[in-house]
Amino acid sequence: MCKEFTLVAGPCSVESLEQVIHTAKELKDKLSPDFFRAGVWKPRTRPGSFEGVGEIGLEWLQIVQHDFGLKVITEAGSADHIDKLARYDINSFWIGARTVANPFSVQEISNALKNADVNVFIKNPIHPDIELWIGAIERFINAGVKNVFAIHRGFYPYEKTHLRNVPRWEIPIELARRFPELKIICDPSHIAGDTKYIADISQKAIDLNMCGLMVESHYQPEKALSDKNQQLTPQQLKNIIDSLVFRSDKTSDDEYKNLLAGLRDKIDVIDYQLIDMLEHRFKLVDEIGGLKKSHNVTILQLERWKTIVESRLNYANADNISREFLLKILQMIHKESIQRQNEIFGKE
Q: If you average pLDDT over every residue of the chain, what do you get?
A: 95
In angstroms, rounded to a whole number, what is the distance separating the alpha carbons of residues 147 and 177?
Answer: 19
What confidence tier does 159 reach under pLDDT thresholds 50, 70, 90? Answer: confident
Among 196, 192, 235, 229, residue whose Cα is nearest residue 214: 192
Q: What is the DSSP letter of 195?
A: G
Q: Rounded to 5 degrees, what angle do the CA atoms 298, 302, 305 make?
A: 115
Percentage of residues in the chain having pLDDT higher than 90: 91
89: left (phi over 0), alpha (psi -120 to 50) or beta: left
Domains of the chain: 6-243 (3.20.20.70), 254-346 (1.20.59.10)
Alpha helices in the chain (DSSP H): 17-30, 56-68, 79-87, 97-100, 103-112, 130-142, 170-178, 188-192, 198-207, 234-243, 254-294, 302-315, 323-346
Return the pLDDT at 24.
Answer: 98
Which residues on neighbouring strands pair with residue 6, listed in sequence order? 212
Q: Which amino acid is at 217?
A: S
Q: Is the pLDDT of residue 242 over 90?
A: yes
- For the beta carbon of residue 230, count every other beta carbon within 10 angstroms: 25
Which has more confidence, 4 or 6? Answer: 6
* CA-based max dimension of the chain: 80
Mean pLDDT of the region 298-312: 96
Q: Give 45 or 64, the one with higher predicted confidence.
A: 64
From CA 27, how far away is CA 21, in angstroms rounded?
10
Q: Pick the more confident residue, 297 or 252.
A: 297
Residue 69: left (phi > 0), alpha (psi -120 to 50), or beta? Answer: left
Average pLDDT over residues 93-109: 97
Residue 93: which residues within 8 A CB-CB, separation 6 or more? 73, 74, 75, 76, 81, 82, 85, 118, 119, 120, 121
> How far is 198 from 188, CA to CA, in rounded Å?
6
Judge whether residue 50 has pLDDT over 80: no
Which of 26-30, 47-51, 234-238 comes out lowest in average pLDDT?
47-51
Between 318 and 119, residue with greater pLDDT: 119
Q: For 108-130, what is the mean pLDDT?
A: 97
Which of the 8 DSSP states describes residue 11? -
pLDDT at res. 45:
57
Continuous segment of H or E residues that includes residue 295: none
The yes-or-no verdict on residue 2 having pLDDT over 80 is: no
pLDDT for residue 46 is more than 70: no
3-state secondary structure of 54: coil
Residues 6+ apart with CB under 8 A from 130: 171, 174, 175
The pLDDT, as a whole number, for residue 284 is: 98
pLDDT at residue 168 in the model: 96
What is the C-alpha separation between 23 and 16, in angstroms, rounded? Answer: 11
Residue 274 has what pLDDT?
96
SS in 3 state form for 97-145?
A: HHHHCCHHHHHHHHHHCCCCCCEEEEECCCCCCHHHHHHHHHHHHHCCC
pLDDT of residue 44: 58
Phi, psi (rounded to 5 degrees) for 338: -65, -40
Mean pLDDT of 340-346: 96
The answer on pLDDT for 47 being more than 90 is no
Q: What is the dihedral of CA 130, 213, 46, 81, to 10 degrees?
A: -90
Question: In Å, how far are 251, 259, 260, 261 from 254, measured between CA atoms?
Answer: 8, 9, 10, 10
pLDDT band at 148 (very low <50, low <70, confident <90, very high): very high
Q: What is the pLDDT at residue 49?
A: 63
- Predicted local confidence at residue 348, as pLDDT: 78
pLDDT band at 158 (very low <50, low <70, confident <90, very high): confident
Mean pLDDT in residue range 12-33: 97
When pLDDT is averaged across residues 93-116 and rounded to a whole number, the result is 97
**What are the backbone dihedrals phi and psi of residue 75, each rounded to the nearest 5 degrees, phi first?**
-85, 140
> What interhelical angle do 56-68 and 17-30 show, nearest 10?
30
What pLDDT is recorded for position 48?
A: 62
pLDDT at 319 over 90: no
Would you say 75 and 61 are in contact if contact means Cβ atoms under 8 Å apart?
Answer: no
Please give the average per-residue pLDDT across 13-18, as a whole number.
96
